[in-house]
Amino acid sequence: MSEDWQGSFPAEYDSWAKTELTESRQDVLAQRPALVALWAGSPYAKEFHTPRGHQYAVADVTQTLRTADGSGDAACWTCKTPDVPRLMDLHGENGFAAHTFAQLGEGMGNAVGCADCHAPGSGELALSRPHAVNAMNKVKQPFEQQSVAMQGAQTCGQCHVTYYFQPEEDNKVNIPWIFGSTADDIEKYLDTRRFYDWVHPVSGVAVIKARHPEYEHWSRSQHAKLEVTCVTCHMPERQDDNGRVYQDHQIGSAMANFDVACAGCHSSQSQLELRLAESKAAIDAARTEVEALLVQAHFEAGAAWGAGAQWEQMQPALTDIRHAQWRWDFATSSHGTYAHNPEEGLALLATARRQANMARARLEMVLEMYGVDEVTYPDLSSKQSAQQALGIHLPELEDEKRRFIEQQVKDHWPAATQRGY
Ligand code: HEC
Ligand code: HEC
Ligand code: HEC
Ligand code: HEC
């Protein structure tokens, strides 16, 4: 428990506890209803928020509609709490993953904490998860051989990284870096394995989902070359009242740390803010365009199937949609791409746009062949209309969640699973 470390390391503990202050988050499906259409057929279409403070990690995964009534995979716990390495020691990595989400809830008493990043009882850095140790070995950056700065970044990379659940290994978490960690490398691996996360209910595309690849984007940035890491920007050094230097464990906004974290290299805060705003606007514009093309492609594929199209005619277009959506997701599912590596983000979106256009051109020919001259697209003017169009009934999902919380969580699971609710 992180509380056990409080006496020895009060400054680190106190700052760590303050991640509870970053409570607010945004409903991304409400901001971008098109995501409901792209993620239809998966739990992501039910609820998706921006991240908030580490103290909420356990509560948010418990309460989200994505984990529904808890009958899904225990692997969803993997990146939320130091109770996970503890339980992996007990059950083994596969034994841990073989549980359902609900079966392990009673053991989840701590949000992201000391033992996630440190050796027991000390300030020494350590990777606590086997999937992360394996991943760093795959890209030939074994933890023990890194500088302290890079080790710090790797502690973040245990969770802020893309992954998939390995079906032949009890659905345990795997980081697919066999060929490398770019979107192209990972796609090659997932294509070789013919892996998919789900089948899209309208188009039949076998979708692959990227998850928050902060570590991957950052690892190819200018900053990474200079060993400016996640830790430099999100948990800089500060001094306590006695003049002792410590690492600020209140992980949150990097720009809030400008004076201590950026000013050494970037002289003007306002210029940096401007630059960030420009990158964000460019990425937002590019993604909006790609999202619209992808929605059209999914529904055009749906119309082609409806008219009687055959697998051989559809397959090239479906593959293009799979690849375009993968790149779009890799560029955008990390909420900080505009800050971490806007160039990579924009390049991925440019390729995604070409691939989505190619899919639509192929589908146009199929539609023509079957005499279809009108395709109906869904009303994506709001999250509500989008969910209705894709057959997602929110009130029913919310009822199911409420029952699960009342019956299983409320009186039985630790307080961390209900923080802020
Ligand atoms: C998400 C990862 C992470 C978590 C969680 C975390 N730390 Fe750290 N901690 C770091 C990193 C990274 C450093 C910097 C190591 C370095 O550069 O030497 C650090 C440094 C330290 C140090 C060395 C002294 C200092 O402040 O630089 C101590 C002691 C420490 N942490 C204690 C704690 C305690 C106690 C907790 C829980 C209340 C905790 N840490 C939670 C990542 C983490
Ligand atoms: C054990 C997994 C884990 C580790 C290790 C971890 N994180 Fe996180 N991080 C999360 C989760 C989960 C969330 C989202 C929590 C939520 O929204 O409930 C998050 C949220 C964040 C946020 C958003 C916070 C906000 O206030 O908006 C930042 C920034 C962040 N992490 C940076 C880091 C950095 C930097 C490190 C390494 C020093 C790190 N994280 C290590 C799991 C982890
Ligand atoms: C050069 C500084 C810098 C580095 C290095 C860096 N970040 Fe960030 N990060 C930012 C900035 C700036 C933002 C935009 C919002 C803010 O924090 O002010 C951001 C945003 C984020 C967010 C989204 C927060 C949200 O609420 O949407 C997460 C998560 C995150 N970073 C994690 C990481 C991780 C993990 C690493 C290392 C793999 C990392 N960052 C490396 C500066 C940095
Ligand atoms: C050790 C020096 C150093 C530190 C510390 C540093 N940066 Fe940088 N940063 C650079 C260099 C070098 C570049 C690349 C040259 C350029 O684009 O200005 C850069 C580029 C950037 C860019 C433009 C990236 C792009 O591709 O558009 C942003 C945004 C940025 N830094 C944000 C930050 C933030 C925010 C912090 C603090 C939280 C920070 N940097 C800390 C050295 C640093």
Report residues whose beta carbon is within 6 angstroms of any ligand 3 atom.
50-51, 153, 156-157, 160, 214-215, 218, 223, 228-230, 232-234, 253-255, 335-336, 339-340
CB distance 228 to ligand 4 below 6 Å = yes
pLDDT digits (tens, 9 = 90+) for 249-306: 999 999 999 999 999 999 999 999 999 999 999 999 999 999 999 999 999 999 999 9
**Rg over CA atoms, the chain:** 22
pLDDT surpasses 90 at 241: no
Structural domain includes residue 182: yes
Q: Residue 368 — very low, low, confident or very high, per pLDDT cuts 50/70/90? A: very high
Domain contains 98: yes
16 CA distance to ligand 1 middle (Å): 9
**What gap in Å lies between CA 160 and CA 3, rounded to an integer?**
24
Query: What is the CA(359)–ligand 2 centre distance, in A?
Result: 36
Q: Which domain holds residue 239?
A: 2-266+398-418
pLDDT (tens digit, 9 = 90+) per residue, 307-361? Answer: 999 999 999 999 999 999 999 999 999 999 999 999 999 999 999 999 999 999 9
Task: Tell me which residue has its CA closest to atom 20 in ligand 3.
Answer: 336
Q: Tell me if 48 is assigned to some domain.
A: yes
CATH number of the domain to which 206 belongs: 1.10.1130.10
Is 315 inside a domain boundary? no
How many structural domains are present in the chain? Answer: 1
pTM above the 0.95 mark? yes
In a domain, 346, yes or no: no
Query: Considering the domain boundaries, does residue 136 fall inside one?
Result: yes
Residue 357 lies in a domain: no
The pLDDT tens digits of the residues spanning 16-30 come to 999 999 999 999 999
Residue 93, domain member (yes or no): yes
